[in-house]
Structure 1
Amino acid sequence: MGHARQTAGTALGLVLLLGGCAAPGAQQESPQAQGTPSASDPPGSTSAGTGTPSEVTPSEVTPSGVTPSGVTPSGWQTFTTSDGLSFDYPPDWTAKDPGGDLGGAFVDVTNADGKPMAQLRTNIVTGAECTVQYPYQVYDSQPLQALVEPGSADRGMPRYVYESRGDGTGPGPAQNTTAAYGITMMPEETGPLACPMFHLFLWPPSGALFGGTYNPANNLTPGPAALPYLEKAKRYAATPEYQSIRTMITSLRPAG
């Protein structure tokens, strides 16, 4: 289990950059990531600013010619983990799991240029506490019926989300200003402030994640380089690369 804990710590750096809130039915554990930071972990630090949530409608983020949600584009490949999950990904991207004794799936997905697009981790112990709230924005959200566990009707449905926390004027990404995409079981936020991002969902025997942190160095984004980080994150939602990431992550399903 030691290897699995270290794996979980590394992966949690992607989605618990600001801490976390306890997932429904999840075991409580420290929100601090203990593994080695991944290539997509943001550098630096800045303080959270103030503001109100800003949701973007699908018409604002989906460019013309993009494959509709739930439809896998022709020619895409399928990756299946050893513990029973499958997802589809573009033909010029790469999905690799080093295997071995890691106690779960440990899949890295990179684009044709070798830039990290997402990570899939399973056998993760989930749980953290919401000790502080931040200004937030939601750029995209979609329920994922395929990941609902049998007999878990009393729990929230997993959903795909692309969202951010923190200061809308700073350069980012940083400890308190971060945008990320992934799968969550947390309820949708309704007030002006939100708990830190918690991109984890229940998958036997414990939990899993599939997502990544938005980083302008890896994620191609239109517009001037000097734009604030969160403005870049919002613009990224309208790019073909983001739409490929979204289609890939929302294709996650039980294998078979």
Structure 2
Amino acid sequence: MGSPSAAGTAIPAVFLVSLLLAGCGLQAGPQQSTSASPSPAATSTTEAATTAAAPTASGGSAATASAPASAAWTTFTTADGQLTFELPAAWSVRDPAGELPDGGGAFAEVTNQAGKPLATLRTNMATGSTCMERFPYQVLESQELPALTQNGTAPRFIFETRGNGATPGPADTPAAAYGIQTSQLPTGDLACAIFHFFTWPPTAAMFGAFFSPENNVVPGAESLPYLEQAKKYTQTDEYWDIKRMITSLRPAA
């Protein structure tokens, strides 16, 4: 198939189910991790930097000018040798063999020290959608990712929401998510349901997750509404680590 659908389309129920199973949807509980370090597919290069510059945002409102990052980082390469990304050395990557459907592709689920899933990378995905309803939206952060350019188009990292205090977001679907998408940013006052896929051979890929207060901890915001928690999440160290991780995704050398 071609590139993922534009902002004027939304994901149908069958793909919502696949998203949940793939880890990009709301994940109800922690995944058990057998190691505090990435799986054997990860390289052992660790950065000893005490801080890291926060990625520059464009097209969205940055939460802060700079943010601290985890002190030590390592590099993970997918089992198929196609993609690589950086992650905090204290986080883990679950890269199980034999759990993908026929057709292959890469799969990697990143969890924090407590075993909470924070993002899922998966390639060779079939995508398609129909926009059934539009919702108020907000782009919290946006950054172009030239390293993943395909067919002359660069995807972007995005953290966005659907709905507001007066109009709820899509039913049975979390209304805030961070990830990579090839489709254009929403325009106007309304947008379809969140659809985070980016073009990657042979079809499409995903790397991100829906924001979940069960997995994404926002200290001091537990009593706030869901969307307010999502906005405050951009001010946390964990979010900046996630953003640095996702925006570091690139073809493996």
TM-score, structure 2 as length reference:
0.74
Instruction: Tell me which residue corresponds to 1:57.
Output: 61
Give the C-alpha shift of residue 89 in structure 1: 0.3
Measured in 1, the distance between the counterparts of 2:195 and 2:234 equals 20
Where does residue 122 of structure 1 map in the other structure?
123
Q: Secondary structure at the match of 2:227?
A: helix
Unaligned runs of 5+ in 2: 29-58
Report the Cα distance in structure 2 between the residues aligned to 1:250 and 1:182, rounded to whole angstroms: 9
In 2, Cα distance between the equivalents of 1:90 and 1:163? Answer: 23
Structure 1: unaligned runs, 5 residues or longer: 1-20, 44-54, 68-72
CA shift, 1:31, in A, is: 5.2
Separation (CA, whole Å) in 2 of partners of 1:36 and 1:185: 17
Q: 2:145, 2:154 within 8 Å by CA — same for their partners in 1?
A: yes
Alignment partner of 1:32: what SS? Answer: helix
Inter-partner Cα distance in structure 2 for 1:207 and 1:175? 24
Which segment drifts farther, 101-110 or 112-121? 101-110
CA spacing shift, 1:36–1:126, aligned 2, 3 Å = closer
What residue is the counterpart of 2:214 in the other structure?
217
Contact 1:99/1:105, CA 8 A, preserved across alignment: no
Matched residue, 2:146: 145
| Equivalent position of 1:32 in the other structure | 14
Q: 8 Å contact 1:169–1:229 — kept in the other structure? A: no
Q: 2:188 aligns with which of 187, 191, 207?
A: 191
Partner of 1:208: 205
Matched residue pairs, number? Answer: 211
Q: What SS does the corresponding residue of 1:180 show, helix, strand or coil? A: strand
Tell me the alpha carbon deviations over residues 65-87 of structure 1, each in whole angstroms, 9 at most, x when there is no partner: 435xxxxx763111111150000
Q: Which of 231, 235, 247 does residue 232 from structure 2 map onto?
A: 235
Q: How has the CA–CA distance of structure 1 residues 244 and 77 changed in structure 2, closer, same or farther, with 3 Å as cutoff?
A: same
Is 1:41–2:45 an aligned residue pair?
A: no
Q: Does 1:167 align with 2:164?
A: yes
The answer on 1:22 being equivalent to 2:5 is yes
Residue in 1 aligned with 2:68? 66
Give percent identity, aligned residues only: 46
Q: Structure 2 matches for 1:69-88, cutoff 5 A? A: 75-81=72-78, 82-88=80-86
Report the aligned-residue RMSD.
Answer: 2.9
For 1:42 and 1:120, locate their aligned partners in 2 and report how far apart those are by CA, in whole Å: 14
Q: 1:188 to 1:65 in 2, by over 3 A?
A: closer
How far apart in 2 are the matches of 1:23 and 1:133?
Answer: 13
Residue aligned with 2:93, SS = strand
CA drift at 1:217: 1.2
| Partner of residue 252, structure 2 | 255
SS state at 1:230 partner: helix
1:111 to partner: Cα distance: 0.3
Q: What is the aligned partner in structure 2 of residue 9 from structure 1?
A: none
Change (3 A) 1:127 1:36: closer
Q: 1:32 Cα deviation (Å)?
A: 1.8
Would the alpha carbon gap of residues 37 and 126 (structure 1) be closer, same or farther in structure 2, given more than 3 Å must change? Answer: closer
| Structure 1 residue 236 displacement after superposition | 0.2
Secondary structure at 2:14 match in 1 = coil
